[in-house]
Amino acid sequence: MKRSLLAVLVVLVFMNACATQGARIERDPYYESFYEKARLIMTKEEIQIYKHLPDTKAKDEFIDEFWKKRDPFPETQENENKTEFERRIAYANRWFKENRAMGRGWDTPRGRIMLQLGEPDNRYLSDMINDPSIKGYEHWIYYYYQLELIFVDSNGFGEFKLRNWPAELLTSIDRAKFTLNLTDREAMKNAFSFETKYQDGQIVIAIPLNKIHFREVENTIQADYKISVYVYREYLKIDSPIFTKQLSYPKDRIPNEKMLEFYLPYQISKKGKYYFDVLLEDVLTASRSRNFISFKY
């Protein structure tokens, strides 16, 4: 009886230690600081993956790859997008701090939009509004997103709230989460979307024909792609294969389908919930795009 009681106590102490360690990891200022800001540009899949990471090693790997996936020029030492994101945080902390604690300007309505969409193309400020209920007024315009936002200070304390919620705002924020270059508007315009799924042991990728850039090679037209895939099972990364694919057609038989499909073989054997984070790069133009596959096996 005493041995049984002792065994139970040992198990309880062990479980309590694990729980304490997990709580300590979750409250670690470094990981908390990263997540509360970066989640604003995370996809919903990335948020789910990060929330389920078991330890600091997994979190460190996630953070490293989070920025690696968003590096517009991997061949250089600097990650321009990470630098741009940190610049946006510093800007928001300086100009949008309102009545928040020091270093929390990014967590105001204006600061969050700044982190997600960057600085507006035009920003109009005024405190001379023919409306006694408004003490301050800001009008932001994003031409690329075709978006107009109005922030108002209703109490005179310098706290600005978003007055209008255009339907395009959520679309623009979601679109920005898949943008792999935060600063280059031309690169954003050249970005392309694609469809992807996992079926019969293959990753299926479909690209709109009008988004494919062919080059002429003798009597053929060709398009080359590099595909990086990050595979997660039960929220843990298990693989990161890299594929190359060339689409080639005779000049006299140019395809006329709306979407061109190609297939990448990838077998899975264990049951579970899977995420495939698929990064597709057009070798000719260096433009990149991204999509997720989510499924249970």
pLDDT tens for 123-180 read 998 766 677 777 888 999 999 889 999 999 988 888 999 998 898 999 889 888 877 6
Average pLDDT of the chain, as a whole number: 86
Least confident interval from 84-93, 128-137, 257-266 = 128-137
The model's pTM is 0.84
Dihedral sign for Cα 100, 106, 112, 118, please. positive
175-221 pLDDT tens trace:
888 776 676 666 666 667 899 999 999 999 999 999 999 999 999 99
Per-residue model confidence (pLDDT) at position 252: 87
**Do residues 108 and 97 touch, judged by C-beta distance below 8 A?**
yes
Per-residue model confidence (pLDDT) at position 52: 96
Q: For residue 292, count CB atoms less than 10 angstroms from its CB and return exposed for 0-12, middle for 13-18, buried for 19 or more.
A: middle
pLDDT tops 60 at residue 26: no
CA angle 154-157-161, nearest 5°?
45
